[in-house]
Amino acid sequence: VIFNSSLEASKIVAQEIANLIQLKQELNEPCVLGLATGSSPIKVYEELVRLHKEEGLSFANVVTFNLDEYYPMDKSNIQSYFYFMHEHLFNHVDIKPENINIPDGTVSANELRQFCVDYEMKIKSYGGLDFQLLGIGRTGHIGFNEPGSHLNSGTRSITLDHITRVDAASAFLGIDNVPRKAITMGIGTIKNAKRIVLLAWGNNKAEILQKAIEGEITSNIPATYLQEHNNTTFVLDSEASLEL
Ligand code: GLP
């Protein structure tokens, strides 16, 4: 779906999430959201905060699982996805702290494998993700599933692609400060979501979006795996759609 502006698109995506939260409330069920970081979802989070403050949308039944986190990474670090999510969403809504799940960039190397297994199991214990919000990296990554990621991959640690580290360099004040690794939900984890919405804005995403949407399905461009998911929408602004 192509919109004239990312703001207009973000409001519609936020409304879909709000409707799902309210539907689950009526059913007395948790609403299990997979959440993304990066610049793309910021306006969706702003709109969700507005719906909470001005229209009484409650997050009391919401359980969240974030896609990824740099590794290693302290929670207090302003570049952490932990910090990002609290800054943009969690600090401004009534979500219960125990319902927030973010891959833990502070676990020791020895505990990392078990942490990933437990994260995956916890998502499954809720019956999977009701809704997954995604961005896309210039390598075609979703979460931090870099080229080469397997279709059935689960939550795991991954080595970041050079392009991904270049793109993160300004936030870290230089590429040397960008972590070389991350923890990410897998392609399998994401594909099990009942509904997926991928957001992409601006012409620097146009080329990878053309490949992701119209190219053949390949592990070289992990976002192409979404072509096989039966309830995924790519939400773009007009600039991001220029190569389609
Ligand atoms: C990072 C995140 C991805 C995100 C991507 C794009 O690599 N791990 O989840 O989709 O950045 O970021 P942006 O939305 O800022 O373009």
pLDDT in tens, the chain (244 residues): 999 999 999 999 999 999 999 999 999 999 999 999 999 999 999 999 999 999 999 999 999 999 999 999 999 999 999 999 999 999 999 999 999 999 999 999 999 999 999 999 999 999 999 999 999 999 999 999 999 999 999 999 999 999 999 999 999 999 999 999 999 999 999 999 999 999 999 999 999 999 999 999 999 999 999 999 999 999 999 999 999 9
Q: Is residue 243 part of a domain?
A: no
What percent of the residues of the chain are helix, what percent strand, and what percent coil, each to the nearest 5? Answer: 40, 20, 40
This complex has an ipTM of: 0.96
- Chain CA centroid to CA 240, Å: 18
Query: Residue 68: which domain range?
Result: 2-237
Question: Which atom of ligand 1 is found nearest the CA of 182?
Answer: 8
Catalytic option among 47, 69, 120, 146 = 146
Cα of 61 to ligand 1 centre, how many Å?
Answer: 27
The count of other CB atoms within 10 Å of the CB of residue 111 is 12
Q: Is 111 a catalytic residue?
A: no
Q: Is residue 173 part of a domain?
A: yes
* Residue 65's CATH number: 3.40.50.1360
Q: Is residue 150 part of a domain?
A: yes
Q: Is 164 in the pocket of ligand 1 (CB under 6 A)?
A: yes
